[in-house]
A and B are shown apart, each in its own frame.
Chain A
Amino acid sequence: MKTPLAWLNLVHEKTRLLVAIAGVAFAVILVFMNLGFLGSLAKAASMIYSQLNAEVYLVSPQTLEISTTKAFPIERLYQAAGIAGVERVMPLYTGYLQWRNPETRTNRSIFVYGINPNDPVFVSPEIQSPENQAALRRPDTALIDRLSRPEFGPQTTGTVTEVDRRQLTIGGQYTLGGGFAADGTLIMSDQNFRRFFDPFPLRLISLGLVKLQPGADVEQVAAELRRTLPEDVLVLTRPQIIQRERDYWIGTTSTGFIFGMGVIVSCIVGVVIVYQILYTDISDHMKQYATLKAMGYRSQFLFWTVVQEAVILAVLGYIPGFAISLGLYELTLRATNGGLPIGMELGRAVHVLLLTIGMCSLSALVSVRKVIVADPAEVF
């Protein structure tokens, strides 16, 4: 076996190795956190749709994402109900209200879903429970999301507070999560929605949900809907509307740019740290490397030795970086009450590992020049 020169050089200086590993781990953690936020953004965008009981969605072409909708006529929904394969159509009304915390009396924006209480709009069986169903039918009453931020105040049933200058009673709770767009959510009946958003006409809806009969071909029905309905509504299947929301959050808002920039900056930090370590190592071993050249080793050998050192640093730094990132993800998940669905994904883990190796190799390429030009005649 070849003498593992790169490995032995690295482990010889224990302190320097630890600093290098800490530096790489730091960069890895920064990258993981940025990608984690970016990933949770995409996941949060899709989360609400997995909670909605429909396969095909009708939206206005001017709708950006679920909390920024442009209302369209409910007639489109009635037209959709006539297509073969459609079991049921359900309107969904959305909007923001000013919620007053009953204890601190501070106002905060809360996101509201207005539904027809007779429609099974949400998958969650909790919302269909007799108590919640009864509460939904009471005037000026709404259900509150348990995952709403604590700043919204107590969530116990019967709590009375003021929402947009109108009294509201909490009639029950459910678990949904607001994602990036909302700190907290409410569900209320369309009649109550009409009261709170006065003068909101119920014949204009934010989102049309189309539930298909069991066994119906989603693509086929969607194509038929597109053919039948005028162009003032978009017909989207669930994967399509999720993709549309992701594209909006990541591409159109600055969120994607911010986290993407975060990843780049983290990589630069990593490159600089590894470069420093490799450069010091090369400077310390200049005489030895030049001696190897005098003995008959080619520059190529020294080049690969430095690259090996870089890859070893990458892998050694990645391991603690990965472990700490898992902990930080858990911490973030708890800090947001599960509202930010941040979590490790296999693809991301592999990508960051490759990125780390690439980052360290880049440092190697920058620092290796010194050893390539090392003149063996200089050691005499």
Chain B
Amino acid sequence: MSQSMSQSMSQSMSQSMSQLVGSTTLETNSDPNAYAVQIRGLNYYFGQGDLRKQVLFDIDLDLLKGQIVIMTGPSGSGKTTLLTLIGALRTVREGSLKVLGQEIVGLSRAELVNVRRNIGFIFQAHNLFDSLTAAQNVEMAVELLDEWGDKRQKAIEMLSQLGLADRVDYKPSALSGGQKQRVAIARALVNQPALILADEPTAALDKKSGREVVTLMQQLAKQEGRTILMVTHDNRILDVADRIITLVDGRLETDDNLENFVNTHDPKSLDRRMFMM
């Protein structure tokens, strides 16, 4: 009963949405292999029964391979939820969600785990094991591939690229906030995932370390052709993006390249919105 109601509700909403989103879609590409993520008609709900609340409304979104996309929007708009759905961390029931060419709607939990192994996750908190050294924390990711022989070498290589060559055997307690976040990035990137999902990676960092971390991510993505989807409130780092999408109240509101975004978002009005979040 409630399902049919919400379906009809979402249908009426999708009509108004498709006009909005369709007009702002940047690129179109008929080759499905060119996309890292393809989302069609995605709805998502929290809770069950009477408490069921829709948080994402009819999302259509394509992420081209090699793009750096920043997703922004007020708190509670569903950014993180969308990120966890793309990351195969939640089960999707409505719509279509293709990650790296694989449809993940309807996959079992065990199959979702396999999808996750091709995705690099960077969290707001570094979530490193205090008991492991920087290298060991990164090695935990390499071990997922059942590669034991050169795992330390791989970890050290990755940490060196992030400027931590002299810190590989330090435990997190002996590293600064920026260094810890860089270790976490090394852990996310060491298996060379095609898709990297980052949730507020700079939130716990000062301006300088935040900038460093983002620049490193940008460099690595450009070199290796990786797709990055980053959720952030931090408008100091918007310049790394190829594309900026805004999510408001569970709907895609704008989808723009950097130039347009800066032009259409007057700094003053942007600031006011930041306060409301």
Chain A positions within 8 Å of B, measured between CB atoms, are 1-3, 5, 8-9, 11-12, 285, 287-288, 290-298, 375-377, 379-380
- Which of A2, A288, A295, A375 is close to B128, meaning CB atoms less than 8 Å apart? A288
Number of residues on chain B facing chain A (CB within 8 A): 30
- Which of B116, B125, B131, B148 is close to A8, meaning CB atoms less than 8 Å apart? B131
- Which of B89, B110, B140, B143 is close to A294, meaning CB atoms less than 8 Å apart? B89
Hey, which chain A residues are within 8 Å of B89, CB to CB? 294, 375-377, 380
- Which of B84, B125, B128, B148 is close to A1, meaning CB atoms less than 8 Å apart? B148
Whether, in the assembled complex, B255 has its beta carbon less than 8 Å from a beta carbon of chain A, the answer is: no
A45 vs B116: C-alpha distance in the bound complex, in angstroms?
Answer: 65
Whether, in the assembled complex, B129 has its beta carbon less than 8 Å from a beta carbon of chain A, the answer is: yes
A109 vs B144: C-alpha distance in the bound complex, in angstroms?
Answer: 72
Q: Is the CB of B116 within 8 A of A3?
A: no
A-B pairs, top 5 by smallest CB distance, nearest first, are: A12-B131, A296-B117, A377-B89, A291-B127, A8-B131
A375 vs B141: C-alpha distance in the bound complex, in angstroms?
Answer: 19
| A292-B140, A295-B116 as given contacts; A9 in contact with B90, CB under 8 Å | no
Q: Is the CB of A295 within 8 A of B148?
A: no
A27 vs B87: C-alpha distance in the bound complex, in angstroms?
Answer: 45
Give the Cβ gap from A20 to chain B, nearest Cβ, in Å: 15
Hey, which chain A residues are within 8 Å of B35, CB to CB? none
Q: Is the CB of A287 within 8 A of B125?
A: yes
Hey, which chain A residues are within 8 Å of B128, CB to CB? 288
Give the Cβ gap from A7 to chain B, nearest Cβ, in Å: 9
Whether, in the assembled complex, B130 has its beta carbon less than 8 Å from a beta carbon of chain A, the answer is: yes
Q: Is the CB of B84 within 8 A of A377?
A: yes
Whether, in the assembled complex, B174 has its beta carbon less than 8 Å from a beta carbon of chain A, the answer is: no
Residue of A nearest to B200 (CB): A380
Residue of B nearest to A286 (CB): B127
A-B contact pairs, 15 of them (CB 8 A): A5-B132, A8-B129, A287-B125, A291-B121, A291-B123, A292-B140, A294-B87, A294-B89, A294-B121, A295-B121, A296-B113, A296-B116, A376-B116, A380-B89, A380-B124
| A292-B140, A295-B121, A377-B89 as given contacts; A9 in contact with B129, CB under 8 Å | yes
Q: Is the CB of B113 within 8 A of A3?
A: no
A80 vs B113: C-alpha distance in the bound complex, in angstroms?
Answer: 80
Interface residues in B109-162 (C-beta closer than 8 Å to A): 110, 113-114, 116-117, 121, 123-125, 127-132, 136, 139-141, 143-144, 148
- Which of B84, B129, B143, B144 is close to A380, meaning CB atoms less than 8 Å apart? B84
A99 vs B117: C-alpha distance in the bound complex, in angstroms?
Answer: 82
